[in-house]
């Protein structure tokens, strides 16, 4: 089936997003071979965007490019998941500690709005909308940190964590508990108790990691 792509966004980024989702969901199994030619035909694009997508996914360790033999799916292992969430934990704990210094109430409105949208998505049972609001919430931690290089590191891995969240969020039939976790995290960040905030964040990310590991175990 031919995939449609939007002409506004980078074509390479769109191809990478679809392939990333397939890999993280397990729809493309580790060891499977894909070719630039077949992908270009499927997405109705030239080979340039396909190469851009594969370069990005190679950086993310999701594929291995073996020219001229082809491209092979690496997929996600238990160790990959551990590495990704330990990296995220290190980045986000630093961002959290810096964000908590912000006293200007107006700068917290975007995070509060994301919390509100998560609550609405939970009420509606809308997993897709919840994912968007969830990622916006966490992106706001980095925005509040006032550390452009740290925020850049988060944005570099954001596509991978988006794909992971799209999988793990489906483990929660009722989204209200996850929504409540984010309310708690925002409240404790604003309370000015760094140790407590760090603990809440750590437990939150550990839960996401365990859900992704459960997903991998179920596939095996």
Q: What are the start and end residues of each CATH 1.10.10.10 domain in the chain?
A: 11-73
> What's the CA gap between 88 and 101, in Å, rounded?
20
Look at residue 4 and tell me whether its pLDDT is greater than 80: no
At residue 69 the predicted structure's pLDDT band, cuts being 50, 70 and 90, is confident
Q: Which residues of 34-65 are buried (b: 16+ CB within 10 A; e: fewer)?
A: bebeebbeebebeeebbbbbbebbeebebbee
Look at residue 96 and tell me whether its pLDDT is greater than 70: yes
Angular region, 70: left φ>0, alpha ψ -120 to 50, beta rest: left
Taking only the tens place, the pLDDT of each residue in 120-134 is: 999 999 999 999 999
Q: What are the start and end residues of each CATH 1.20.120.530 domain in the chain?
A: 78-219
To the question of pTM greater than 0.85 for the whole model, the response is: yes
Look at residue 68 and tell me whether its pLDDT is greater than 80: no
Taking only the tens place, the pLDDT of each residue in 5-16 is: 555 568 999 999
Look at residue 28 and tell me whether its pLDDT is greater than 60: yes
Note the CATH number of domain 78-219.
1.20.120.530
**Secondary-structure class of domain 11-73 per CATH:** mainly alpha
- The percentage of the chain sitting over the pLDDT mark of 90, rounded to a whole number, equals 88
* Span 138-143, average pLDDT: 98
> What's the CA gap between 216 and 67, in Å, rounded?
29
Residue 2 confidence (pLDDT): 52
Look at residue 40 and tell me whether its pLDDT is greater than 80: yes
- The percentage of the chain sitting over the pLDDT mark of 70, rounded to a whole number, equals 96
Pick 172 or 93 by higher pLDDT: 93
């Amino acid at each position: 089936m031919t995939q449609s792509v939007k002409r506004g966004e980078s074509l390479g980024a769109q191809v990478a997003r679809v392939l990333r989702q397939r890999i993280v969901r397990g729809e493309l199994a580790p060891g499977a071979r894909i070719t630039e030619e077949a992908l270009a035909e499927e997405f109705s694009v030239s080979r340039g965007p396909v190469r851009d997508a594969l370069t990005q996914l190679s950086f993310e360790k999701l594929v291995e490019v073996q020219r001229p033999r082809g491209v092979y799916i690496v997929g996600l292992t238990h160790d990959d998941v551990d590495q990704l969430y330990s990296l995220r934990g290190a980045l986000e704990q630093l961002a959290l500690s810096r964000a908590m210094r912000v006293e200007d109430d107006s700068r917290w409105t975007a995070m509060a709005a994301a919390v509100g949208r998560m609550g609405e998505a939970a009420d509606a049972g809308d997993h897709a909308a919840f994912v968007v609001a969830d990622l916006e919430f966490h992106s706001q931690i980095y925005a509040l940190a006032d550390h452009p290089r740290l925020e850049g590191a988060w944005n570099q891995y954001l596509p991978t964590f988006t794909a992971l969240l799209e999988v793990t969020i489906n483990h929660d039939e009722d989204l209200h508990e996850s929504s409540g976790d984010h309310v708690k995290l925002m409240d404790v960040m604003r309370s000015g108790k760094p140790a407590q905030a760090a603990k809440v964040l750590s437990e939150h990310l550990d839960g996401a990691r365990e859900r992704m590991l459960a997903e991998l175990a179920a596939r095996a």
